[in-house]
Structure 1
């Protein structure tokens, strides 16, 4: 089957074709929906500037929406011998409408066509990831409030340090996700810029209205400079993968805590049987396999931005075929982080917190700082109070008999500041501006 770029009587060796196409048709299926959107916006603009007769716009729009219906219905395929999703959609249009179908490529290159597909794809996926992060955030905040009075040992250097609480622990991960979302929002800003009209990277002699396609597709702004639009390929993916990596870092740390806290030597939480597995020879085992795999999958995701950085290393401006390989890093990473967020939601929902942990005598020393502070409040200089309590500990005379906790400042055990964390979260989500994008796409497809 002839390629969009192929000249008459030009033949490509099968081995070369397989090497250059690679897995692109597999990943391109995920772009099909967005290729239709980009084409709808592009032909609407072509009609607006007089490059497409008005009477030809409607049949093209109707047929593109018919193709979209097959994509949404799961019956769309990229046929054998078809190079990519762009070729498949143009082939279907031409098959149905004849030469009219060939008009949709005027003023476009496959370079800016795939760029806009990827931007729309990444933008939509970021919206899904943000929704999953928001769900997990809400759960963690609810758990924090519910367990604010359940004390927990706090550790530094894996040595018992000071009293903490499950409220503090759950709340910490909730706020951490908000900070991770700051990077996700930055990635969204870059994904939400319009490259359409940049062509092969040097624009077009057609009078394209790039501001119109920006509005039609709900982009925040165009990439103004056409060369820079092409240079956003790989850069946008890198931003997205960095955000994913940071979320994964939070999830891997939470998973590690769960592995520790579920073990018999800690015994702070209990996981249901659905989240554990047994041993083939030890009948007592309840291994936290889900948490361990979550930790491993999240740790794998931390490496992907570096792979993207290396893939893009030492490339001059302009288009290069390596850009095709960005999909192989980006798309699996997006699927993986969504799976990890889903399983974390399940795990946090079903874990059981154990109460009254700090009544155990082995946690007496957790309260040494509280004793120092009591002396300070009574007028003893801090350094002297520290020495007094230290001597009691060395002499074996400190038993932490008073388990009273008087932490009242913002963000401490007695004042979790959950409303402040909620406000931070709302501020970040409001900056995304998802509603504008959704409204624009609804208008485009209506």
Structure 2
């Protein structure tokens, strides 16, 4: 390992302790490394603006930072256990190539605001990906909801309840993922604040050009208080995981539906073969493993959020405990976004079994229609309800699922899905 940034001549380094302190940090920093380099370039420009770094030095530093980013992308530079972390690697590389100019690059900043800004940029990237996935899911759901509707049993308490349709099913998840995309956008607006220049949480005795770094790095605003910049670590990460978890909650319920609908007992849905696997012992089996793991994905994100939450039982100011938040954050985001990425193709290609769905619609499922028709004709609803309950077994006489859906004219129901309104909400996310 190279000399730590904090190494002093009278300090003896114990290798086992250093290994414990570093942990997986340098490996996890690979995820944030390019953002750390981008923030370092903005910091160099800011230092040049206030005369701490000379113009020629700034040009050289930015040139070497560009080269480091390219070497990292190509694999010519590997971030590994030669370094304590990604920050140390950047400074070591610049010092090796540029001598004193490289030693100047850390002026006015700490590893605390360095990881804060790299993580913040990375979080914005994750939220953009989340919004993309949620929008793609909503687009597929809207497209399939617009297709001719097939009658589908509607369930409450997992018991057959009323006539529903494939259009209503898809429209429900379309609206859910539109809201999830909106939440991703709103969360991004909430965290879109630049912490670079807050140093170790108390500012520095330099008039840093924080307005420049804010503009250069594409932040909407500056995170003003150095103390709040430290207080926000973990809090903002949790908000991003919560936005992902919100989408995965809807995905979990969608996956549960498909888990049920693909059973032989329901037989409503056939999945593309790529989304199923075989049994190691039972030749007759095809298992909906992908659906089951999509259903389970919420747990990974919720666990990541909980781990970070448990770390935040801390006083103000930076504490090393927060190092452990990076692994949770990375794995939670990677798993959650990876699950959502699979959903648009799955929904586009799944096939409904119309005869099985129609056969599952029994006469009693029209009883609610009968009660409401009588109430609309002037019978008090509770009386109409009791009368319909007594004749529920024959409620379907002379009725078809299509009749029931055609009569369902309340906004959002079978004959008034309002897909144009939902699409308009989705398009508003571009504004």
TM-score, normalised via structure 1 length:
0.91
Equivalent residue number for residue 401 of structure 1: 398
For residues 416-441 of structure 1, give each alpha carbon's deviation from its aligned partner in whole angstroms, at most 9, with x where no partner exists.
Answer: 111222222333454xxxxxxxxxxx
1:44-123 equivalence runs, <5 A: 44-123=45-124
Equivalent pair of 1:195/1:222 in contact (CA under 8 Å): yes
Structure 1: which 5+ runs fail to align? 431-446
Equivalent position of 1:443 in the other structure: none
Whether 2:329 is the aligned partner of 1:330: answer yes
Deviations 1:17-71 (A, max 9, x none): 1111000011101111011110111111111111111122111111111111122
Deviations 1:98-123 (A, max 9, x none): 11111111111111111111111111
CA contact (8 A) 1:245 1:304 kept: no
Write the distance in 1 (CA, Å) between the matches of 2:88 and 2:286: 52
Partner of 2:154: 154
Please name the residue that 2:353 is paired with: 354
Q: How many residues align?
A: 426
Pairing 1:381-400 to 2, within 5 Å after superposition: 381-393=380-392, 396-400=393-397
Matched, 1:142 2:143: yes
1:213-232 matches, within 5 Å, as: 213-232=213-232
For residue 152 of structure 2, give the secondary structure of its aligned residue in structure 1. Answer: strand
Which deviates further from its counterpart, 226-235 or 79-88?
79-88
Name which of structure 1's ranges 182-191 and 31-40 shifts more when overlaid on structure 2. 182-191
Equivalence for 2:370 = 371
Query: Which aligned pairs between 1:271-286 and structure 2 lie closer than 5 A?
Result: 271-286=271-286
Q: Distance in 2 between matches of 1:7 and 1:115?
A: 25
How far apart, in 2, do the equivalents of 1:361 and 1:254 lie?
Answer: 20
Q: Is the 8 A contact 1:183 1:242 kept in 2?
A: no
Give the drift of 1:283: 4.0
Q: Which moved more, 1:109-118 or 1:359-368?
A: 359-368
User: What is the 5 A alignment of 1:228-239?
Assistant: 228-239=228-239
SS at match of 2:112: helix
**Structure 2 CA distance for aligned equivalents of residues 120 and 48 of structure 1:** 23
Tell me, in whole angstroms, the C-alpha distance in 2 between the residues paired with 1:380 and 1:86.
75
1:340-396 Cα distance to aligned partner (Å, 9 max, x none): 012222321221012255542752211111122232344433223222222223xx4
- Give 1:34-53 correspondences, 5 Å limit: 34-53=35-54
Question: CA separation of 1:54/1:408 partners in 2, compared to 1, >3 Å: closer, same or farther?
Answer: same
Report the CA distance between 1:241 and its aligned residue: 1.1
1:153–1:165 contact (8 Å) kept in structure 2: yes
* Residue equivalent to 2:299: 299
CA distance in 2, matches of 1:157, 1:46: 63
Gapped regions of structure 2 (runs ≥ 5): none
Alignment-derived partner of residue 169 in structure 2: 169
How far the C-alpha of 1:202 sits from its partner, in A, is: 0.3
Inter-partner Cα distance in structure 1 for 2:347 and 2:427? 22
Q: TM-score, normalised by structure 2?
A: 0.94
The answer as to whether partners of 1:152 and 1:357 remain within 8 angstroms in 2 is no
SS in 2 for 1:105: coil
Which residue of structure 2 lines up, in the alignment, with residue 415 of structure 1?
416
CA 1:284 to 1:112, structure 2 compared with 1: closer, same or farther past 3 Å?
same
* Alignment check: 8 A CA contact 2:135 2:181 kept: no
> 1:248–1:302: 8 Å Cα contact kept in structure 2?
no
Query: Deviation at 1:286?
Result: 2.3
Q: Any idea what SS the aligned residue of 2:278 has? A: coil
Q: 1:346/1:75 Cα in 2 relative to 1: closer, same or farther (>3 Å)?
A: farther
Contact 2:153 / 2:361 at 8 angstroms: preserved in 1? no
Deviation at 1:208, TM superposition (A): 0.6
What residue in structure 2 maps to residue 133 of structure 1?
Answer: 134
